[in-house]
Structure 1
Amino acid sequence: MGLAWQQGPLGTGAIGRFLVPAELPERMLFAEPLRRRMRVRLGDMWIADSEDVVALHEPGRYPVAYFPLVDIVADILEGDGRTTQHKDLGATAWFTVTAGETTKPRAAWQHVDLPRHASELEGRVAFAWRAMDAFYEEDERIVGHAADAYHRIDIRQTSRRLVVRNDDGVVADSSQPLVLFESGFAPRWYVPREDVVQDALTPVEGQTFCPYKGLCSYYDIGGSHRAAWSYEDAWTEVRRISGMVSFEADKVEVELDGKRLRLEPGQGVVSHGVDRDLTVEELAG
């Protein structure tokens, strides 16, 4: 999550609150300079290249990158005659994007009748993440969505004892787990493989990926489906959890220093439209 997605401060399921005397508006949007060079590729072309991107944080969505028209290749946008109404930002025009032999209908949009208070988005276009072939910051591909400066992960070593049981049998027993704190989510506890009972985990088909941690594999534990997971090759920023195992506290019994852990608000991940309609193959793209 981040500033406005899921349990973020501006999200629809915020777990904290602003300590102010007056009630805040039901929806608050936040726009800010991304301060990173961002590029977009479609087919064999770089169709946008800008150091002046604005990130829009909208409740219930991941951040969306808006590019100034001057930093978009000329003549790749063709209006398709479709206009929709954004509940906060007014009329929105949609474009077909064409780069060489590649054409993507309804793949970009622009808010064309912005209220005065949203002038930061004037003259800017956003590209549908799944319609494009890739987004980059400098020369590194960004997977999943535009960068969210408010999403943070901290990993800490602890000597607290974590015990996992299923059907009265011990699955894992560790006094050297790592705890992963991720913005807005309840802590996740990761156990070294050597502290997991051999053959307790049954690999299952199907993987997912997290824009912040990488490719995730899942395991059944007895009759508990997908009760554990592991990032076998976690991304550089969270490399410490590579190969370690975490457990779903609502599917198996997880105890920390003798206290049963329960599923907490914000523990689950909620999919959201096109921003989360991603495939594992995208990692290799």
Structure 2
Amino acid sequence: MGLSWQQGPLSPTRIGRFLTPEPLPERLLFAERLRRRMRVRFHGEWIADSEDVVLLHEPGRYPVAYFPRADVRAGVLTGGDRVTHHKDLGDTAWYAVHAGGADAERAAWEFTGLPDHASELAGRIAFAWRAMDAFYEEDERILGHAADAYHRIDIRNTSRTLEVRSGDRVVARSERPVVLYESGFAPRWYVPRADVDEKALTPVEGQTFCPFKGLADYYDIGDAEKAAWSYREAYPEVGRVGDMVSFEPDRVEVTLDGKRLAMEPGQQVTPHGIDRGLDTDELRTR
């Protein structure tokens, strides 16, 4: 979750509400300075480098980084004659990006008709995430989208008993699960592999990617497709759930201290796209 996407407080699908006497506007946009050095790489060349990036949080979208034009390398942007209209921020000019002997059409944009209340974005350029090689904070690659300061993950131990059944078969039973709390999402329960009947898990092809946790592998359980998943090589920040298994409570029976779990608002997750040129080996060695 972030401030404005998935189930965040400024998202149209938020699960909480603002306690105000009058309803808020249907769409709320929020801009703030990132206060981190951010760089953009395209076809092996650095094309933007700034310590003055502004993040735009727009309802239903990942945060987007906007660079001062002065911090974008001269000659990289061409065109700008194609103009669309943003419902909140006015006319938008689109640019092709040229560097390293390659071109990417409509890979950058600038708001050219901003209302007075959105002056923070004046003279700033944004780059299409998947069209670029990569985005960096200092020398570390940022995956999936610009880092959102409003996203948090906490992992807690518990002595409660978690049991997973598929029909009459006990798939997992543990008195040492951990619970992962992720901003805006319902809790997710993870079980050590030693407490799982691995013969009940059938690995399936295909992985998904979380910018905060890493690559997820999936398993069928009987006829229940993708009923379990595991971050086998979770990022160090969430290493406590590495190689543990979690289960979908709407596809198999999951009980916690005898009480059956059910899908809750905010439990569904919108998958992230994979950055262009990003392979699984790079994700694993992040």
TM norm structure 1? 0.96
Paired with 1:164 and 1:208, the residues of 2 have a C-alpha distance of: 23
Counterpart secondary structure, 2:70: helix
Structure 2: where are the runs of 5+ without partners? none
Alignment of 1:146-185 (within 5 A): 146-185=146-185
Aligned amino acid, residue 130 of structure 1: R
Match of 1:276 among 263, 273, 278: 273
How big is the shift at 1:168?
A: 1.8
Paired with 2:146 and 2:280, the residues of 1 have a C-alpha distance of: 15
The residue that corresponds to 2:25 in the other structure is: 25
Paired with 2:104 and 2:114, the residues of 1 have a C-alpha distance of: 25
The residue that corresponds to 1:234 in the other structure is: 234
Percentage of matched positions with identical amino acids: 67
Contact 2:53 2:67 in 1 (8 A): yes
Alignment of 1:35-46 (within 5 A): 35-46=35-46
Residues 186-227 of structure 1 deviation map (CA, whole Å, 9 limit, x = unaligned): 000000000001311111100111011001100011111100
Relative distance call for 1:269 and 1:197 in structure 2 (3 A) is same
Length, aligned pairs only: 282
Structure 1: where are the runs of 5+ without partners? none
How big is the shift at 1:279?
A: 7.0
Relative distance call for 1:242 and 1:168 in structure 2 (3 A) is same
Paired with 2:281 and 2:74, the residues of 1 have a C-alpha distance of: 29
Alignment of 1:6-85 (within 5 A): 6-85=6-85
Contact 2:44 2:133 in 1 (8 A): no
Contact 2:232 2:244 in 1 (8 A): yes
Residues 164-186 of structure 1 deviation map (CA, whole Å, 9 limit, x = unaligned): 00012100000000100000000
Relative distance call for 1:268 and 1:139 in structure 2 (3 A) is same
Pairing 1:201–2:198 present = no
How big is the shift at 1:23?
A: 1.1
Contact 1:178 1:189 in 2 (8 A): yes
The residue that corresponds to 2:215 in the other structure is: 215
Residues 99-136 of structure 1 deviation map (CA, whole Å, 9 limit, x = unaligned): 02111000000000100000000110000000000000
Relative distance call for 1:92 and 1:117 in structure 2 (3 A) is same
TM norm structure 2? 0.96
Contact 1:207 1:280 in 2 (8 A): no
Relative distance call for 1:69 and 1:284 in structure 2 (3 A) is farther
How big is the shift at 1:284?
A: 4.2
How big is the shift at 1:145?
A: 0.0
Contact 2:96 2:107 in 1 (8 A): yes
Aligned amino acid, residue 167 of structure 1: G
Contact 1:209 1:280 in 2 (8 A): no
Aligned amino acid, residue 83 of structure 2: T
Counterpart secondary structure, 2:151: coil
> For the aligned residues, what is the CA RMSD?
1.3
Contact 1:2 1:183 in 2 (8 A): yes
How big is the shift at 1:276?
A: 2.9
How big is the shift at 1:140?
A: 0.6
The residue that corresponds to 1:91 in the other structure is: 91
The residue that corresponds to 1:121 in the other structure is: 121
How big is the shift at 1:283?
A: 4.6
How big is the shift at 1:277?
A: 5.6
